[in-house]
Amino acid sequence: MRQHMRWIVGLIWVCGGAAQVLAQAHAPQDGVHVGQMSMMRKLIPSGALEGQAAQQYVQTLRDAQQKHALAPDNHPQVIRLRAIAKKLIPFALPWNDRAREWQWQVNLLSSSQINAYCMPGGKIAFYTGILDSLKLTDDEVAIVMGHEIAHALREHGAERAGKSLAANLLVKGAALFAEYKGYDGRTVAGLGGVGANLAMLNFSREDETEADIVGLDIAARAGFDPRAGVALWQKMGMINKKSPPKWLSTHPAGADRIAEIRKHFPEVLPLYAKAKGWENGVLEPYRSNVKGLEVVQ
């Protein structure tokens, strides 16, 4: 029985790994390299999530407007966010052919939440909490926005939905197989569900890391300092002292993210220097706007 349990949980993990088979690459040839997009996203009809996201975005804006929480077009922060997005979006398009058809939108919602997102289809929203609490510079806003755009470009929503669908089918199949062999199908389904949940958490952390890397590339090409990513996560660490254990979190630990960001400096700093018209060897250190943060070389 125990051997069957290990096989079932292992199969769920293999399912995720096997999903990384070849898919058409869209990424630029220089800059960062993150491999192919998962074929698991193909289990969800193309564009289905984009239509759902558009409807949800409209409803979100409508609800916010009724609560007087939707910032007007002439709000200084809205103008700022849209100006940054205007610089980023042209460098996002090469990562996904569908992005050229998206009706991009950027809006600001009044909320203390430290959050921002980009829905499938290019629907971007920032909360005032992330701008105010972290005192984000333009470079740091670009890192956040690039990260969220990268999730949409790499179709992480469709990928996770596809993996979840496959995992559920595997668990149900394993339970039926166990019953055929004379075991308790409900117990097998329960254990398989635990394995599937842990696997999906790992997939989410992988998506977060990929979005960090692709976001750095996009921001650097648009002329925003990718070293702001280090300052961003240092700021996040200052206000997020308590967090779940890494293996039960959908996000990598802050120290891990900073290390991963630094690892890609050799790839993205030349892009940033080129965008600014500077020689790569003469970049000034990045200095954020909060005391106590290290200067990033």
Task: Quick: pLDDT tens for 206-217.
Answer: 888 999 999 999
- State the pLDDT at residue 239: 82
pLDDT digits 0-9 by tens, 131-140:
999 999 999 9
Distances (CA, A) of 103 to 57, 99, 117, 123, 260: 12, 9, 15, 8, 32
Residue 194: pLDDT above 50?
no
pLDDT band at 10 (very low <50, low <70, confident <90, very high): very low
Q: Is the pLDDT of residue 6 over 50?
A: no
The mean of the pLDDT values for the chain is 78
User: Is pLDDT of 107 > 50?
Assistant: yes
Closest CA to 215 of 128, 296, 154: 154
Question: Is 90 exceeded by the pLDDT of residue 272?
Answer: yes
Query: What's the confidence (pLDDT) of residue 35?
Result: 73
Give Cα separations from 193 to 137, 186, 187 (angstroms): 42, 10, 10
Domain ranges of the chain: 45-159+198-282
The catalytic residues are 148
Q: What backbone torsions phi and psi does residue 283 show, to the nearest 5 degrees?
A: -70, 130
Inform me whether the pLDDT recorded for 8 exceeds 50. Answer: no
Q: In the sheet where 116-119 sits, what is the strand order?
A: 105-109, 123-127, 116-119
pLDDT tens sequence across 147-173? 999 999 988 666 666 555 444 555 455
pLDDT surpasses 50 at 273 = yes
Q: Would the pLDDT of 222 be above 90?
A: yes
The first and second tokens of residue 31, run together, are: 């800059």
pLDDT at 9 over 60: no
Query: What is the structure's pLDDT at 254?
Result: 82
- Rounded to whole angstroms, the Cα distance separating 285 from 297 reads 5
Give the three-class secondary structure for 243: coil
The answer to whether the CB of 287 falls within 8 A of the CB of 140 is no
**Range of lowest pLDDT (7-21, 42-56, 252-266):** 7-21
Structure-model confidence comparison of residues 264 and 15, the more confident one? 264
pTM given for the model: 0.76
Q: What is the pLDDT of residue 160?
A: 66
Residue 158 pLDDT? 64
Which tens digits make up the pLDDT trace of 30-78? 888 887 665 545 545 657 778 888 999 999 999 999 999 999 999 999 9
Q: How confident is the model at residue 237 (pLDDT cuts 50, 70, 90)?
A: confident
